[in-house]
Structure 1
Amino acid sequence: MLERKLGKSGPAVSAIGLGCMGMSEDFYGPADRGESIATLHAALEAGVTLIDTGDFYGMGHNEMLIGEGLKGSSKREKAVISVKFGALRGPDGSWSGYDGRPKAVKNFLAYSLKRLGVDHIDIYRPARLDPDVPIEETVGAIADLIKAGYVRHVGLSEVGAETIRRAAAVHPIADLQIEYSLISRGLEAKILTTLRELGIGLTAYGVLSRGLISGHWTAAKAGQTDFRRHSPRFQGENLTRNLTLVENLRAVAERLGASVAQVAIAWVLGQGSDIVPLIGARRRERLAESLGALKLSLSPQDMKALAEAVPPEAVAGERYAPAQMAHLDSEK
């Protein structure tokens, strides 16, 4: 497994990380507990070290699942655990904002440590910017937890260039987690430049755009009752237009002797050694397919062909519904 370092201050991790959100029955519908744990184990055995979760995935379920999967000192020692925190939810699964107050940060962490069954978290990050709390206070609270030995590194998620600079002035930042793919390239204008100027890594989620550019999604799946039914890119004419772009990708992938998912992941890998894609596999077969991207050697011409297959201006729909877009500091 190739390794990449997350920024100047962050840890060395596998070149591809495992995003575990889909392993909880919350966003992507039913999940198989046994298969999820088997996928986590297979990832560790393949050399994947970066394991990403959120304390609000399944309202704690995801962390408990990972904790079960990492039982045993050898498995824990292999894993670099990244946790997002701060999202507020109701017992009906509803969302009610974000809490980045220092006392809330410490409370969230206490519960995460218990659910995961660990004595520290490797990278701890607010899931979104709390508009009512200066980022300096939130990062300062994480810095205090680092001094106390409960956290190793500070991460950020979905924040813009100005917020990144303010956070980095308080404490070194390992990485920014943000959506980045052939179909979501907005960060290239300003955010990516800021990260590189400051020596901050990037962990890219949504590299397959929630399955849209995996090569496995079809219009027939549009009625599935998971959170994608609320995503503009999966709706109506937008979906039709976006699936046309996927067919463009398929043509390039077939020429390269790879799957659509593999070339999409390889394209993100090829954007710089400071970028680590997170793959949301929850089955071993999808994990194996995704890891196959590491075997691809894309030439500059191949990279250009992939980018031209999915022109940014041809992508239909925003990456989130309007209510969710409003919480993205990275989009302001």
Structure 2
Amino acid sequence: MTEQTTIARTELGKGGPVVGIQGLGCMGMSDFYGDTDETAARETLDAALAAGVTLFDTADAYGRGANEEFLAPFVAAHRDEITLATKFAIERNDDPAYRGIRNDRAYIRQAVEGSLRRLGVDVIDLYYMHRRDPAVPFSESVGTMAELVQEGKVRHLGLSEVTGAELREAYAVHPIAALQSEWSLFSRDVERSAVGAAAELGVAFVPYSPLGRGFLTGAFTDAEAELSAGDVRRGQPRFTGENARANAALLAPVREIAAAHGVTAAQVALAWVQQRAAVHGLTVVPIPGTRRPGRLAENTAATRITLTAADLALLEPLASRVAGTRYPDMTFTSVPRES
């Protein structure tokens, strides 16, 4: 393996672990995006590690624990080489449509034990609160997470989908290594307050869905027409009907820039996230998800692409023109809580 074929490394927050500058989102290997070829998915995990990816991201909600169980053999084989991130807070049951949010002390205690067992580990490197329940004060939720650090069950803490004010409030209870929220060419809500707060506090930013759930790659243009019945994107407003058609038209400058650089649209989108974070003086580790080794190689190669000022100017207005919200119910995000 040559230096040119592996990605660079960075510190994940002040005092956090040193990881590759791109991670791997593992959710789709077990849930939400239709059937998975398990052999290809396992090959993707190996390809990621070989490419220098060391941050592997899962959650107890993905497949109701199935994704953690899927990762367990890989984790066991490479425990000292990887940084393992998982999450709690999204409660699921036998109703496929049900999503609850719990941040209370008893639930956190129950959740961490379940994740440790399914992953087959004694300690979780990075433990996120997946979603915030504003009714539970950070003194209880982050305070409980801090106890897990003191007890040696967790090494570092993270939050997902919180505002800048919430990040500061949580950080006052215990240092936060990483903030994970959606950030892409089509989703820039986090730039209102969360990005600035993370930069100020030295918290690393971990963008999920930096490829717009595949839409920015051109892999599909209308979820209802092109994706399988079990694919969650069929129910997301940006990817269906008139919204999908309008948003597909916005990708023209992405394709233009990709052609000029001799790269793919996916690589342009990932390079944009890296460079946008640099504008804010922020450490960023995007976690694009994939189940195929070929896509993994394409994604990691994007870390070596530099977009020009003219490229960035062409891409700047896209998010403001996107039709439709990220989720049918945006109360599961930080957006309604932004001041």
| Partner Cα distance (2:332, 2:148) in 1 | 26
Structure 2 match to 1:5: 11
What is aligned with 2:3? none
2:201 and 2:61 mapped to 1: Cα distance? 29
What are structure 1's unaligned runs of at least 5 residues?
none
- The answer (yes or no) to whether the contact 1:202–1:276 under 8 Å persists in 2 is yes
Q: Find 2:23's aligned residue among 17, 21, 36.
A: 17
Distance in structure 1 (CA, Å) of the matches to 2:260 and 2:334: 39
> Is 1:158 the equivalent of 2:158?
no
User: Which residue is 1:182 aligned to?
Assistant: 185
Which string of whole-angstrom CA distances, capped at 9 and with x for unpartnered residues, describes residues 285-311 of structure 1? 111111120221223333223335x2x
Residue 265 of structure 2 is aligned to residue 256 of structure 1:
no
Segment drifting more, 190-199 vs 166-175 = 190-199
Distance 2:270 2:37 in 1: 24
Counterpart mapping for 1:131-170 below 5 A:
131-170=134-173
Residue 328 of structure 2 is matched in structure 1 by 321
Aligned position for 2:49? 44
1:124-175 CA deviation, whole Å, 9 max, x = no partner? Answer: 0111002331122111111111111110001000011221111000000001
Does the 8 A contact of 1:9 with 1:172 survive in 2?
A: no
1:278 is matched by which residue type in structure 2?
Answer: I
2:301 paired with 1:292 = yes
Structure 2 residue aligned with 1:277: 286
Q: 2:310 aligns with which of 301, 304, 311?
A: 301
Q: Residue 32 of structure 1 is aligned with which of 29, 37, 48?
A: 37
- 1:56 CA drift (Å): 1.0
Question: Per the alignment, do residues 156 and 327 of structure 1 end up closer, same or farther by CA in structure 2, a change over 3 Å counting?
Answer: same
Give the counterpart letter for 1:64 in structure 2. E
Distance 1:281 1:33 in 2: 12
Alpha-carbon distance between aligned partners in 2 of 1:219 and 1:233, rounded to the nearest angstrom: 9
Q: Counterpart of 2:250 in structure 1: which amino acid?
A: L
Greater fraction strand: 1
Match of 2:249 among 244, 247, 261: 244
Structure 1 residues 71-111: Cα deviation after superposition (integer angstroms, max 9, x where no partner): 22xx1111101111111111232324111111211111111
Q: Tell me which of 81, 85, 100 is aligned to 1:82.
A: 85
Distance 1:220 1:55, change over 3 A: closer
State how far apart, in whole Å, the 1-side matches of 2:61 and 2:223 are.
30
- The verdict on how the C-alpha distance between 1:220 and 1:90 changes in structure 2, with shifts beyond 3 A counting, is closer
Q: CA RMSD, aligned part only?
A: 1.5
Query: Structure 1: how far apart are the matches of 2:137 and 2:291?
Result: 36
Asked if the contact 2:223/2:239 (under 8 Å) is kept, the reply is: no
Q: Is the 8 A contact 2:253 2:314 kept in 1?
A: no
TM-score (norm 2): 0.92
SS across alignment from 1:140? helix
Q: TM-score, normalised by structure 1?
A: 0.94
Please, which of 93, 97, 116 is the counterpart of residue 96 of structure 2?
A: 93
- The separation in 1 between residues aligned to 2:333 and 2:83, in whole angstroms, is 26
Task: Name the SS of the counterpart of 1:58 in structure 2.
Answer: coil
**CA 1:249–1:96 in structure 2 vs 1: closer, same or farther (change >3 Å)?**
closer
Whole-angstrom CA distance in 2 between matches of 1:279 and 1:99 = 26
Q: Is the 8 A contact 1:252 1:306 kept in 2?
A: no
Q: Distance in 1 between matches of 2:223 and 2:96?
A: 27
- 2:204 counterpart letter in structure 1: G
Q: What amino acid sits opposite 1:45 in the alignment?
A: A
